Structures are given as C-alpha cells and as structure tokens.
Structure 1
Amino acid sequence: MKHKLIYVIPFLLLLVGLYFMPIAVFESNLSKMPGDLGDTRFNNYILEHGHKYLTGKIDNYWDAPFLYPYKNVTALSDNLLGTLPIYSFFRGIGADRETAFQFWLLTLFTLNFIFCFIALNKWSANVILSSVGAYIFAFSIYNLGQLDHVQVFPKFIAPLVIYWFWKFISETKIKYFLFASLGLIYQFYCGMYLAFMLTYVLLFFGIAYFGIYGRQSWHNKFWNKRSIAYLSSIVILSVFILLPLIRPYLEVAGSMGMRKFDAAINSIPTFRSYFFSSDASSVWRFLSNHAIGKISEWWGHRLFFGATLWLGLIVGVYLVISKRASFESRKYIYFLLSAVFLAVIFCLNFNGVTLYKFIFLLPGFSSMRAIDRIINLEVLLFIILFVFSFAKLQEVFPRVKYFIFVLPVLVVVDNLFDANKVKRFDKQMSQQRIADVKNRIKDQYDSKYTAIAYMPFLTHVENESDGYLHTVAIQLDAMTAAQELNVPCVNSYTGFDPGNYLNFFFDPRDKTLDEWCEFNQYKSSQIQHINDLGKKEVSRKKINLVAHNNKFLTAVQDAEPLVYANREKAAAWENFIMVRFENGDCFIKASTNFLWSAEIGKEGIVVASKSEAGEGETFRIVELNNTTIAFKAANGLYLSVDSISLNVFARSSVIGPTELFKVIEF
C-alpha cells in the first residue's frame, strides 16, 4: 500500500502542472488562445484541414485549399498528422474549431507529462525524481517561449524513444531497436521539426555511449547474418512506413531547394540563450532582459528551463570529480554529461562560429530554420542527467532522500509564471475577425470563379512594428474563412513561400496576383478579388502621380500628412495604391496605409490621414486620355495644385491645367 501511495506525487504534479501552465494560459473559461494571430491559427487551420479530410469532407490532404493554385502546400510546413485524431475527436463530440484546438493542446501537455514519467520511471525506478523530470519536460518555463509555435508540443513519444534507444545500445536487444525506430517514425508523423531534432539528440546520445563504453559487445552481438537481417528488415519496414509522409516533403525540396545556412544561423542558441528567461517567470524575471539586443532574433531564444536541471548538472559534475560514487556510477554520469555536452556544443553559436554547420549538411536538417526549438528535445538529456545524478547522490549520501522529497514543491515554485504576461489573444475576437471576412466573402463571392483572393484595402496599423503580424493575421482570417466556406483562396501563411508569392503577400494588387498566377501557369481571370470595401473593384494598382508642374505627388509623414506636388523624383515610399470601382469612384492609399481625404472644413485640402473609407475619401475619376486624369472630390470640386504652397486642394469647379494628373503605373 505504501508503495502505491507514492504514485500520488506524479498524479498531483500532473494536476498542478495543467493548472499552472495550459489552463492558466487559456483561463478557466477557455477564453484565451496561446501565442499570436499567426502561427497558432495556422496550426489550427492545418488540424481543421486534417479533420475535414478524415471525415470525408475533402478528398485531397496534401493540396490544402490555400496558396492557390500551388500544389502540395500542406508539405510546406509541419502537418501534425500524428496527433490529428486527438483534435478530430474533440471536433467530433461537438467542440468548435478553436475549443477543439485548446483541448488538443491540453491533451498534449498531459501526454508529455505521462509518457516522460513512464520512460524515466522505467529507466530509474525512482518515482519522485521521475515525476520532477516529467514536470520539467511538460510544464517548465522554457515552454513559454514555445507557445508561439504549438507544433512543437506533440513530443510525448520522444522520452520513450530515447529510453528504448538506451535499452537497445546497452542491452543489445533487437526488439528495442524496433520500438525506437517505430517511435521515431511516429515523431515524424507528429512533426518533422521535432523528429529531426530527436534524431540529433539520439545521435549524440549514441556517440557519448560508445565513447565511454566502447562497442565490443555490439560487434559480438550483431556481427552475424541473422542479426544483420533483423536490423535490415526493421530499417526497410521503417522506410516503408515513413515513405507516404516523406514523399511530399521530398517533392517540396526538389521544387524549392533547401534553405541556406545563413537563414538558420541567427536561430542557433548561444550560451546566453540557456539563461534567457521568459519575462512572465515569477522567480527568474531578472533573466528576461539581458539577451535583448545581444542576440539576433532574440525572441526565439528564451530557453531557460529553471534552476532544477542546472542543479542536477552541478551534482553530476560533483559526483564525477569527487569520486565518492562507485566507478560504474561515475562512468554512467560521465556518459550522460558527455551526451549533454555534445548536444549543446554542436548546436551553439559562438559569435557566428558554430559546429552546427556540419549538422546542417545532414539530410533533412537544411529544411529547418528555427534551430532554437532544439530545446524541446535537448532538455530531455538534461532531465535524464538530473534524475540519475540525484539518484546516485542518494546512494552516496542517504539523507539526500529528504531533499528529494522536497523537490516536487521546489520544481513547481521554480517554474511559476504570470499568465497575464504570456503572449496570447482573445478567442472570441479571433472568431469574430474570421466571421467578418467570411461574411464579406459570402456577400461578394461568385461561383463562376475557381478561387478567391482576399485583398483588404483598409490595412493601417497604429504601430508600424505590428505591420507584419497584421498582414499575417489578415492572411489567416481569409484562409480560415475560406476553409469554412470550402472555397480555395490565394491567401497563405506557411513555412515556405514559393516563387514570387511574397510580392502578393505584402502588396496585394492586380499585378502581383497576375504574376503569381503566371508563375503557376494559371489564368488570373479565374480568381475573384474580394475586398473589405463592399464594392466590386475594377482595378487595384500601384501608381505615382505627376502634377501639371511635372512634380511627383507625395504624402508627407508628419502630424498633418498633407499631399504635395513638389518632388523631382518619387522615393519608394511616395507611391500610392489606387483602387477603382465600376461606377468610376476610387480610393487612394499612401504608403502609410492611410487614405486620401478632402477636408471639407479646411478649404478641401487633401491629407492622407484616414484609416476608414467614407464619403470624404471617395474621389470620382475623370479620364482625359490613357494616362491623364482629373479627380472630383466628395464636395463636387476638382483636385488642383496650389501654385504657391504646392498643396493639393479640392476647390476647383472646372478642369484646367492645374487639375490634370498623369498616372504612372508600376
């Protein structure tokens, strides 16, 4: 009975971890989603796409209906197939898309703890240390830095794969090679990134083992035809199971090539990264600022996993140096220390110098650019070292068992954080954004078109640094709304951007859409433009405007952004987007994403200061020839250039020389 009571500890730690990590982030009413409006919702989209495939609502998994008409788009990022049944189960019992996603993630946290505990307990036979190690794997504060990229959370099989691999290399039993191989393949189905990183961890785990223990037993055990045949059969079986998954990714690699090393180097951890904490941490907040500006792309480098594992490393070093432990125990700890050292040193950036260059040359590794995510698997080596260091320390100093009994409390305190400081967003707000776009598509969609391109015109954001995320959020709004309506869309957000797609992504207009379709050898006339203006567009073009004085128009970026005709040459930021409608009206947008407006109460002076489109922002185009036009404002007067101030006003009742503008299209 006493033996069974100790299992209350992992059970309680699991409940505490779920409460303090995912439930705290979601809030008890599930009103919040982790991360931002980009990656989180993209992963939700991929899971929903998989659910639609599983339930027979679509018949092609790899050609997801975004980035249209490009093929094999699902293989441009992680697919999450291995955990898709979990999400699909919650959808099947009535949860909406976002709530099913939250339950999917909650389940992953649970499985990460349970599977890690099982592996560690089988390995060490120490329930308390295994519980603490599992808590760190599933709920440590390093996970806060991963909430932007929830595709890294399906990692529950990894602890067992390492355990099985250890059993295979230490006991030379072929069944464990089979288990480890199948587990690794399953990790590939859960996520390509994590599978390659698990392979990386296994590589250095194996190198460390053979470096310390030698390989004589292997030679004696496996250097015979029967063993070689068994091992070969397992490899062939593994390749056969993996092939349906890997083939689409090989096609992507063949068509787009691999990433350049320069694209990955800034994400390789530095020494500082391992002591860079989330600013949400309650205990370690003072470690949350020292790397900002010191590390390129620092936002992905919050890898600090609390003090508990570092204490385990210190204990391990002490045991090896002090020689208080037995020779076999020291040898074992030395092996684990070596595995940690090799895994860290080969994925460390020393001011631009890194051994990871050699890893990057291995097949598959050049497909990855966010190398800092290695922490999700690398942490397991630290955890294994921690468990066995304290287990061996207890053998040397029996009273250490009292400290071990306190560790479950200490590890919880070590990893406490303030959920209000974690990046997250309101679930209902996201759902409303998608519903708004869905309604616009429904109002404008014509079934004679094959697909849509959602091209909002009102895209101003107050903070320029939010511009990229705003663009990403718009793409996900459109993708998800189109997914609900079963309408293919050009809009996209994914791991790779083929061809010239980014031109459309950042600058959606006629020309960039035409060029994207041309890249795909597809007729752009088959794609319908959908906007946020409620009116059918005739055209959307990037232009320069030249006044009668042969000066280019510009919208100055001041407190009062007046429009002038005073530039000899137009800089890149001095162009405009003009959208025209069937009735001859148009809107004009400056590079600040503010719309032109004729200020009726200020003599009709034209400013680029409006984020919404109304009567004052509407101009009627009068075409005089192919390149020369005049503009009539909402006050019924024409735009003209003041000869002294060179400001543009809407105050002329007739069209004369000063009311003429030449249009230069990009």
Structure 2
Amino acid sequence: METAASERTRFTLLVLAGGILALLLSHHPAILSGLRLVQGDEGDVRFNHYVLEHGWRFVSGDPAHARFWDPPMFHPEPNIAAYSDVLLGVAPFYWVWRALGLNADLSWQAWALSMAVLNYAAAVWLLKRGFGLRAGPAVVGALLFTAGAPRINQLNHPQLEGQFFSLLAVGAVLALTRPETDRRRGVAWAGLLVGAFVAQLYAGFYWGWFLFFFLLLAFLAGLAFPDTRGRLLTALRLHLPALVGFGVVGLALLVPLVLHSRQAIGSVGLRSFSEVSHMVPRIWSWFYVGQDSWLYGWTNAFSKFQRMPMAWEHRLGLGFVTPILAGIGLWQARSRPAVRVLLVVTVATLILASRYAGGVTPWWLVFHGVPGAAAIRALARIGVWLLVPASVGLALFLQQRLQAGRTALAVGLGALCLLEQGLSGPVYDRFESRADVDAVASRLGPPSACGSFFYAPTSGEAQEWKYQLDAVWASLERGTPTVNGYSGNYPQGWKLEDNRRFDAKDAARQDAALENWMRSRRLEPATVCRIEVPARR
C-alpha cells in the first residue's frame, strides 16, 4: 500500500514533469534557441519589455526614469504610462532577474518563462484544491491552461501572459463558499480574493476586468439555483465584514491606477463600439487555430477564416477534440454546484461574446451597460479566459475516465488534447534587435547634448512601429527623452506615427507634424536633436 510520503513524492515529480512540459509546449522556440529567439514580433513584445524595464529603472533609482507615470517617450507628454497596461502586478517577477544581474534581454526571457510557470502552478493548485481533482487530470488541465493554443496565439501581446492572479481569486471564491470555511479562515481567503483582484488589475486591465465580469456572471448564476443560492448568501453573511474590510484597502491601493487612467481617458477619450466590432468573435473564431498550428495549420486556407477581420485576434480554437471533451467533462459533472455555475458562465460568455448573422452582437449591451467594458477593445481575447473552464472540463473528463478504470484511454486522449495545442509562432532574434537599437543610440551624444531627440530613418524595410521602438529603446539606453513613441494610445496632437522619412513628401509631412508638436508642447527646436539616417535594416 502506498504511503503518504511516497504519494506526495509521486505528486511532486508529476507536477515537476508537467511544468517542464508546459515550458516546452509554450516556449519551445525560445528555449531550443538557447534564448536567442524571442516569441512574437518586435512590436508589442518590445513595448511591454520597455514598460517592465522602465519600471526597473524607476525602482533602481535611474534619474532618467524618476517618475513612473512619465516614461521618457512622446516627450514631454506626462502620464504616458497610463495609456497602456503598467504591468505592476507582474513587474516584480522581472525586477528580480534584473536584481540578480541578468541583462535586460535575458531578464525578459526569464520573465516570460516565469509567467508560464506561475500560470501552471496556479492552475494545478486550483484544479487540485479548488475542484478536488486527482494529480494526473489536474496536471493535464494545468498544461492546457498554460499552453492552450488561444494563449500561445496571443504571445505577441505579452501583457496577457500573467493570468495566475485570476486563478487565485477563483480558488478563494470556491473556498469562501464552502460550508466548512468558518469566519476565521474566511478572513485569509477574503484577503486572497481582494489581493489577487488588485494585483490582476495592476498586471493588466484585460484580465482584471474579465475577472470582475466572470465573477459577476458567476454571482448571478449562483443566485439562479436553489442549492447554490443558499450557499452563496450564507457565505456573504458570514464573510461580508472581511470582504468589506479588505475591499476598502483594495480600493485605496487602486486609487493611483484609477486617477491616472481617468487622466489618460480625459486626454485620449474612450473607444466607440465601432472600434470593438472588428474584434468581436465570430462563430468561426471559436474553431480558428491559425496557420502556425502543428495539426491544423492547413485549415487556415478555409474561406471563413480568410475573411476574418484582424484574423490574428480571432485565433481562439482549441482544436477539435479538446473542446468536445471539456464540454462533456463539465456537463457530466454538472451536479457539482461549482461546476454547474462554471458551465452556465461559459455558455453565457459564448453567447454574449459572439457576433451572429446580420451583425447581431449581444456584447453591445455589455459594452454600454457594464462599468469598464468600454475600455475592452480586443474582445476576442476573452477566448484566452475561456481556458479556465476548458482546463476544468478536460480535467474532469479525464478523471471520469480514470475512475471508470479506462486509464489508457484517459492518457491517450489527454496527450491528443495537448498535441492539438502545439504551435510554432513568429519569433525574432534578440541580438539583431539589440543591434538596431545600438545603431540609433550611437548617433546620440551624451545626455547633456540633447534635451530630447526624434529618430526618422531615411531608408529601411520595416514598418514604422519598429523604428519607433528602436528610438524608444535607444532613449532608454542613453538616458535621453525621445519625441518618438509607441503605446496603445497616442497623445493629442502627436501626428508622428509614421516616422519614416523616405522621400520629399514624407519629409514635408514630418517636418510640419514635428513643428506643430514642438510648438504645442513649448519645446525649443534647438533642444530636439534629429537623427535622420538610414535604418540598419
């Protein structure tokens, strides 16, 4: 008979093996290249890296980054950090690598791997402790959550990587609604729920708002069933003081984020629903995996997928077998209150977040009726969140097969589901990218030579955003602010999005835009150095 110690050892080894597989499945291009290749393209990846590095320079006392909310790009516009995600919830996991002596590029790679490890660990914890699943199914479910195709297809948007705080919050809710959780233990779970929610919002608005939205749906679904309604109301009566107390602290912690976000909204305005409509999932989005899928890349040629607007945002598919098994797992376990609520929330989300024939879009009601929804532009990213119920459903299905004594079938289907997630996405060479930055930085004198600078390549083969980021990183390396910039929004009056100066027409447009910017921001032209040279590539 297996002892408790040997069972713990077996569980630990299984979890460790699963963690290694999770890293390989999600980050094999970077790992197998010896961390030379960075997953994604040189746009949002380098921008999010800049945000983390700016935060490190701020906490480490770099005078050029003395004000966190005012990173030195779009010079001299203030509050630029609030134009996009500040990543503060996940930034410490980057700072620790910098503090240990790794350079910025290796720290980024280590941070990306850390996000995968934390997502995996949180998923194992939630599936095993929150849903009471056995080790094997919990590990497979955690692998799906960590390396599911919707998540890997979004690695080009690294602000979406750190979702583990949401799983901690869901686990805390499950614990708070259990009858055996008394008031004393409820204090700790209430603190975890509020703390995880605050940290998730600071890590990235999308996951923070989706967490709020899904908990709201779960609350409404819980009230709909007699057995869950009584448990939910009892938990509220018992734990409300702790939730209110921690809630007040959480709101206080969110004040800086809210104030700076409101200031940014006052500057750039809110989005209209027309900006969202192109990224509302179509019915076919839920089956679309993309051309990088190992098993299903050939489906990318299907006409339904080819006609997708902004197709890269609509790659929400999990393959063909995985969603079926996950759905069966949730349905067969619907007698469990938590699973039933999760099933209802999943179905409601799919209905609300889909666009139907004739352009019918139920999300319009959410966009205009739920606080904060108007800030969600790329709604299709909700598909990554649905990895939560998918991982629970798949783990439940596999456990049901194991309990029926069909171990070989469970192992084979679990392996097939993980294989369906296999992707080989875009990458770039970090040494090439660093050389491009150094080429721009070499054109700058010491920080005292220029009050700021504007980089305008006179030839090159890349898109304008790539050159903007070369300038932003050169600014960081030399400690000189730049008028160039890259973010989710642009300051009012900044008309320098295309900084390429390839011909006389470009030059005239650019000169006028730069002159207007300097005049509107009271910048002395003599203090703005202009770097007009051919791009390295």
Measure, in 2, the Cα distance between the counterparts of 1:476 and 1:220: 53
Q: Deviations over 1:419-464 (max 9, x none)?
A: 3xx211111110111111111223xx783542111122224x3xxx
Deviation at 1:332, TM superposition (A): 5.6
Measure, in 1, the Cα distance between the counterparts of 2:405 and 2:299: 33
Q: Deviations over 1:27-74 (max 9, x none)?
A: 332111111111111111111111111111132111000011110001
Q: Deviations over 1:159-187 (max 9, x none)?
A: 12112123334547643333212111111
Deviation at 1:89, TM superposition (A): 2.0
| SS of residue paired to 1:453 | strand
Query: Contact conserved, 1:34 with 1:148, CA < 8 A, in 2?
Result: yes
Aligned runs of 1:578-617 on 2, under 5 Å? none
Measure, in 1, the Cα distance between the counterparts of 2:497 and 2:235: 59
Deviation at 1:522, TM superposition (A): 3.9
Query: Contact conserved, 1:275 with 1:287, CA < 8 A, in 2?
Result: no
Partner of 2:7: 3
Measure, in 1, the Cα distance between the counterparts of 2:400 and 2:339: 9
**Using a 3 Å threshold, how does the CA distance of structure 1 residues 78 and 521 change in structure 2: closer, same or farther?**
same
Partner of 1:438: 441
Query: Contact conserved, 1:449 with 1:528, CA < 8 A, in 2?
Result: yes
| SS of residue paired to 2:108 | helix
Q: Deviations over 1:333-370 (max 9, x none)?
A: 54332111012211112243212112223222212211
Partner of 2:373: 365
The alignment status of 1:162 with 2:165, answered yes or no, reads no
Give the alignment partner of residue 202 of structure 1, picking from 215, 218, 240.
215
| SS of residue paired to 2:488 | coil
| SS of residue paired to 2:150 | helix
| SS of residue paired to 2:175 | helix
Partner of 1:215: 229
Partner of 2:305: 292
In structure 2, what residue type is equivalent to 1:35? Answer: G
The alignment status of 1:30 with 2:66, answered yes or no, reads no
In structure 2, what residue type is equivalent to 1:518? Answer: R
| SS of residue paired to 1:509 | helix
Q: Percent identity at matched positions?
A: 23
Q: Deviations over 1:112-133 (max 9, x none)?
A: 1111111111022311111111
Q: Deviations over 1:186-214 (max 9, x none)?
A: 11121122211222222222222222345
When Rg is computed on C-alpha atoms for both structures, the one with the higher figure is 1
Aligned runs of 1:261-660 on 2, under 5 Å? 261-290=273-302, 291-307=304-320, 309-316=322-329, 319=332, 328-329=335-336, 333-351=339-357, 352-361=359-368, 362-391=370-399, 398-417=404-423, 419=424, 422-442=425-445, 447=448, 449-459=450-460, 461=461, 470-503=463-496, 505=498, 509-532=510-533
Deviates more, 1:422-431 or 1:8-17: 8-17
In structure 2, what residue type is equivalent to 1:501? Answer: W
Measure, in 2, the Cα distance between the counterparts of 1:430 and 1:410: 37
Deviates more, 1:255-264 or 1:499-508: 499-508
Partner of 1:259: 271
| SS of residue paired to 1:440 | coil
Give the alignment partner of residue 92 of structure 1, picking from 88, 99, 113.
99
Measure, in 2, the Cα distance between the counterparts of 1:104 and 1:318: 37
| SS of residue paired to 1:33 | strand
**Using a 3 Å threshold, how does the CA distance of structure 1 residues 317 and 72 change in structure 2: closer, same or farther?**
closer
Query: Contact conserved, 2:401 with 2:407, CA < 8 A, in 1?
Result: no
Measure, in 2, the Cα distance between the counterparts of 1:6 and 1:533: 57
**Using a 3 Å threshold, how does the CA distance of structure 1 residues 217 and 201 change in structure 2: closer, same or farther?**
closer
Query: Contact conserved, 2:289 with 2:296, CA < 8 A, in 1?
Result: yes
Give the alignment partner of residue 69 of structure 1, picking from 57, 71, 76.
76
In structure 2, what residue type is equivalent to 1:150? Answer: P
In structure 2, what residue type is equivalent to 1:473? Answer: K
Measure, in 1, the Cα distance between the counterparts of 2:331 and 2:250: 41
Measure, in 1, the Cα distance between the counterparts of 2:297 and 2:387: 20
Measure, in 1, the Cα distance between the counterparts of 2:257 and 2:66: 17
Query: Contact conserved, 2:290 with 2:300, CA < 8 A, in 1?
Result: yes
Measure, in 2, the Cα distance between the counterparts of 1:269 and 1:496: 23
Deviation at 1:22, TM superposition (A): 0.9
Give the alignment partner of residue 188 of structure 1, picking from 191, 201, 213.
201
Aligned residues: 512
Deviates more, 1:210-219 or 1:431-440: 210-219
Query: Contact conserved, 2:222 with 2:232, CA < 8 A, in 1?
Result: no
In structure 2, what residue type is equivalent to 1:280? Answer: D
Deviation at 1:88, TM superposition (A): 1.8
Measure, in 1, the Cα distance between the counterparts of 2:326 and 2:25: 26
In structure 2, what residue type is equivalent to 1:510? Answer: D
CA RMSD of aligned residues (A): 2.6
In structure 2, what residue type is equivalent to 1:519? Answer: S
Measure, in 2, the Cα distance between the counterparts of 1:359 and 1:347: 9
Measure, in 2, the Cα distance between the counterparts of 1:277 and 1:435: 37
Query: Contact conserved, 2:128 with 2:134, CA < 8 A, in 1?
Result: yes
| SS of residue paired to 2:335 | helix
Give the alignment partner of residue 19 of structure 2, picking from 14, 26, 31.
14
**Using a 3 Å threshold, how does the CA distance of structure 1 residues 282 and 346 change in structure 2: closer, same or farther?**
same
- List alignment gaps of at least 5 residues for structure 2: 500-505
Query: Contact conserved, 2:330 with 2:392, CA < 8 A, in 1?
Result: no
Query: Contact conserved, 1:455 with 1:532, CA < 8 A, in 2?
Result: yes
Partner of 1:129: 137
**Using a 3 Å threshold, how does the CA distance of structure 1 residues 227 and 121 change in structure 2: closer, same or farther?**
closer
Query: Contact conserved, 2:319 with 2:420, CA < 8 A, in 1?
Result: yes
Q: Larger RCO: Structure 1 or Structure 2 (Cα < 8 Å, ≥ 6 residues apart)?
A: 2
Structure richer in helix, relative to its length: 2
**Using a 3 Å threshold, how does the CA distance of structure 1 residues 497 and 91 change in structure 2: closer, same or farther?**
same
- List alignment gaps of at least 5 residues for structure 1: 320-324, 462-468, 535-610, 613-666
Query: Contact conserved, 2:326 with 2:392, CA < 8 A, in 1?
Result: no
Deviates more, 1:203-212 or 1:307-316: 307-316
Structure richer in strand, relative to its length: 1
| SS of residue paired to 2:360 | coil
Partner of 1:102: 109
Q: Deviations over 1:607-653 (max 9, x none)?
A: xxxx99xxxxxxxxxxxxxxxxxxxxxxxxxxxxxxxxxxxxxxxxx
Measure, in 1, the Cα distance between the counterparts of 2:149 and 2:232: 40
| SS of residue paired to 1:81 | coil
| SS of residue paired to 2:386 | helix
**Using a 3 Å threshold, how does the CA distance of structure 1 residues 335 and 404 change in structure 2: closer, same or farther?**
same
Deviation at 1:400, TM superposition (A): 3.8
Deviation at 1:292, TM superposition (A): 3.5
**Using a 3 Å threshold, how does the CA distance of structure 1 residues 521 and 263 change in structure 2: closer, same or farther?**
farther
| SS of residue paired to 1:502 | coil
Measure, in 1, the Cα distance between the counterparts of 2:23 and 2:200: 23
In structure 2, what residue type is equivalent to 1:3? Answer: E
Query: Contact conserved, 2:327 with 2:390, CA < 8 A, in 1?
Result: no
Query: Contact conserved, 2:83 with 2:488, CA < 8 A, in 1?
Result: yes
Measure, in 2, the Cα distance between the counterparts of 1:318 and 1:446: 63
Q: Deviations over 1:92-131 (max 9, x none)?
A: 3332221110111011111111111111110223111111
**Using a 3 Å threshold, how does the CA distance of structure 1 residues 481 and 229 change in structure 2: closer, same or farther?**
same
**Using a 3 Å threshold, how does the CA distance of structure 1 residues 12 and 222 change in structure 2: closer, same or farther?**
closer
Query: Contact conserved, 1:201 with 1:377, CA < 8 A, in 2?
Result: no
Measure, in 1, the Cα distance between the counterparts of 2:295 and 2:235: 50
